[in-house]
Structure 1
Amino acid sequence: MGLSTAFTELFGVEHPIALAPMGGSAGGALTAAVSRGGGLGLLGSGNGDQDWLARELPVLVDECTGNPWGIGFQTWAIDDGVIARTLEHNPTAVMLSFGDPSPFVERVRSAGAALILQVTDVEEARRAVDLGADVIVAQGTEAGGHGARHGRSTLPFVPLVVDLAAPVPVLAAGGIADGRGVAAALALGAAGALLGTRFQATTEALVAPATARAIVEGHGEDTERNRVLDIARASRWPAQYTARTLGHPFLDEWRGREDELATAPHAQEAYEDAVAQGRIPALPQWASEAIDLINDLPSAADLVGTLAAQAEDALARAGRR
């Protein structure tokens, strides 16, 4: 029967499912696969690195075959020039996360792209409404990768944002890795779900094979929100955003000692040496609490349809009860 929502109608997609624009790992092939599968693929540009975009955007355009697609940025890490250059490729949507999106709103809007704003607390949600977001993503703390240090869990946060933002469509994000999670998002009043970690474990994702295996084999209790790995690798991520990752030797060594780590250059040098020698992953292994539900590495295009079918079945079973 299909799941028609305000989100699917806005973008003309078949399923209420979007790819989280995970910096670096949501490349052109993954983004295109999600869009071909009937969802909305969002390219994970992160800080708008021009070399990365020059490599991944042609792949996306070639493989997307006319389907809608978008691109996401870490708002704190970009400038107006990044947005302007990206809009030359005519994305259907631009998603902005983590930081003040107001400097970029009018440029996105004037280009005719839909504006998607991700929020991690109520204040951000109110600002997104005031800025005229076309879609709001409500991200709970169960999400893999970065999110608010003092955020809210997905289950209570999503309906709060839905009520606050109405009639603007809301996507739920954080701890969603199968069709039951998509169904739950819809039951909470969201117009769809945005998934990240589940799509990292696909054949098209730009992740190291060891990271894909770690996600498939991992468990929710293996994940932890922390700033240790950002500090160790000298990342500029603002302190108010922690990251949920799988376990890591540096996390075990420096947990609770972040201030000390920030002033210990020898520790950062040790981190770089360990990466160079292959003793630790080149990047932290971002992972959602929902990784227990991930046990295979399918094509992302097939996965979108599977998630939608599971969601329909879950809603039908709930209705029968």
Structure 2
Amino acid sequence: MALSTAFTKLFGVQHPIALAPMGGSAGGALAAAVSRGGGLGLLGSGNGDRDWLARELPIVAEGTEKPWGIGFLTWAIDVGAVERALEHNPRAVMLSFGDPSPFAERIRQAGVALIIQVTDLEEARRAVDLGADVIVAQGTESGGHGARHGRSTLPFVPVVVDLAAPVPVLAAGGIADGRGVAAVLALGAAGALIGTRFQATPEALVAPSTAKAIVEGHGQDTERSSVLDIARGSRWPSKYTARTLGHPVLDQWRGREAELSADPQAKQAYQDGVARGEIPPLPVWASEAIDLINDLPSAADLVATLAAQAEDALARAGRR
């Protein structure tokens, strides 16, 4: 029996599972596969790069007849990126990390569902005020970027659920199997937004070495930091840090972020190391839940597996 929630009813999807729109790695093939599997695939456009959108939007639009959407880094885009995405008739647009207000009304005018990700209660209240159709409550266990001073998923999600009601809330951060999906449903969430688990699928736009590192990694090996953003010259706002697996540059500069920011030679050394192949071009963004990831299934099959595991976990909990 499928799990029916306000989220599944809103989008007409089978399972309360959405793909986190991971910048660059959640391409058209992955988003389409998640949607075909009965979840909501969200394309990870990041900064709205025109060439990337031109390549990946047709792939997801032609790859599934099921609902799909697209996610943007709100601090990194302009309205043109949103307009280009809307031309392909997504069912939803998700805005994360920054002020969504410049884009919210245009998305609503297009008849497209507005999903806003929040990392603290101030952001959650703003999302409610802007009329978000769905709110994503992201805990600090999540892989990739999140709030520097955020809160863990378990206590954060029910607070946002209560604040946002009746707006459906998806939980994000540290969810990598069906037990995690079941747990956040028990907290009052209408579903789960899952990222790192879907990076370990053949449809993800990641290097084989990245997928291998996730499968072999452990949660205690992940760390939230701004060091790698500084070294890469990334413009991420200081409010947000990134959870990654270990990295030699992180070991070298941990706790010396201000010194690194002021050292152009260190940043150039990073770029030179990437050019020589001595340093991976991108960090391995990874959730604390990577201990639960030990295979590389197809994304569509993974959606069904997560949903079946969640149903089983809830049934077992009911019997107890």
Query: TM-score normalised to the size of structure 2?
Result: 0.99
Tell me the residue number matched to 2:50. 50
List aligned pairs for 1:289-304, cutoff 5 A: 289-304=288-303
Provide the rounded CA distance (Å) in 2 between the counterparts of 1:291 and 1:243. 15
List aligned pairs for 1:271-282, cutoff 5 A: 271-282=270-281
SS in 1 for 2:296: coil
Q: CA deviation at 1:86?
A: 1.2
Provide the rounded CA distance (Å) in 1 between the counterparts of 2:271 and 2:175. 33
Tell me the residue number matched to 2:116. 117
Tell me the residue number matched to 2:32. 32
Tell me the residue number matched to 2:159. 160
Contact 2:47 2:77 (C-alpha < 8 Å) held by counterparts: yes
Provide the rounded CA distance (Å) in 1 between the counterparts of 2:84 and 2:38. 27
SS in 1 for 2:146: strand
Tell me the residue number matched to 2:264. 265
Tell me the residue number matched to 1:210. 209
Q: CA deviation at 1:200?
A: 0.3
Moved over 2 A (4+): none
Tell me the residue number matched to 1:253. 252
Letter in 1 for 2:80: G
Provide the rounded CA distance (Å) in 1 between the counterparts of 2:266 and 2:210. 23
Provide the rounded CA distance (Å) in 1 between the counterparts of 2:38 and 2:98. 30
* Residues 218-254 of structure 1 deviation map (CA, whole Å, 9 limit, x = unaligned): 0000000000000000000001100000000000000
List aligned pairs for 1:90-239, cutoff 5 A: 90-239=89-238
Provide the rounded CA distance (Å) in 1 between the counterparts of 2:279 and 2:12. 42
Provide the rounded CA distance (Å) in 2 between the counterparts of 1:271 and 1:119. 31
Provide the rounded CA distance (Å) in 1 between the counterparts of 2:93 and 2:63. 19
Provide the rounded CA distance (Å) in 2 between the counterparts of 1:276 and 1:175. 33
Q: CA deviation at 1:278?
A: 1.5
Q: CA deviation at 1:172?
A: 0.3
Q: CA deviation at 1:273?
A: 1.2
Provide the rounded CA distance (Å) in 1 between the counterparts of 2:141 and 2:121. 17
1:10 and 2:10 equivalent? yes
SS in 1 for 2:171: strand
Provide the rounded CA distance (Å) in 1 between the counterparts of 2:296 and 2:99. 35
- For structure 1, which runs of at least 5 residues remain unmatched after alignment? none
Tell me the residue number matched to 1:74. 73
Contact 2:200 2:215 (C-alpha < 8 Å) held by counterparts: yes
Aligned residues: 320
Contact 2:57 2:85 (C-alpha < 8 Å) held by counterparts: no
Provide the rounded CA distance (Å) in 2 between the counterparts of 1:124 and 1:288. 22
Tell me the residue number matched to 1:243. 242
Provide the rounded CA distance (Å) in 1 between the counterparts of 2:147 and 2:264. 26
Query: TM-score normalised to the size of structure 1?
Result: 0.99
Provide the rounded CA distance (Å) in 2 between the counterparts of 1:194 and 1:296. 19
Letter in 2 for 1:79: D
Provide the rounded CA distance (Å) in 2 between the counterparts of 1:123 and 1:273. 40
SS in 1 for 2:267: helix
Contact 2:75 2:97 (C-alpha < 8 Å) held by counterparts: yes
Q: CA deviation at 1:143?
A: 0.2
Q: CA deviation at 1:85?
A: 1.5
* Residues 169-221 of structure 1 deviation map (CA, whole Å, 9 limit, x = unaligned): 00000000000000001000000000000000001000011010000000000
Provide the rounded CA distance (Å) in 1 between the counterparts of 2:80 and 2:193. 27
- For structure 2, which runs of at least 5 residues remain unmatched after alignment? none
Provide the rounded CA distance (Å) in 2 between the counterparts of 1:62 and 1:91. 12
Provide the rounded CA distance (Å) in 2 between the counterparts of 1:279 and 1:57. 33
SS in 2 for 1:273: helix
SS in 2 for 1:161: helix
Q: CA deviation at 1:23?
A: 0.1
SS in 2 for 1:172: strand
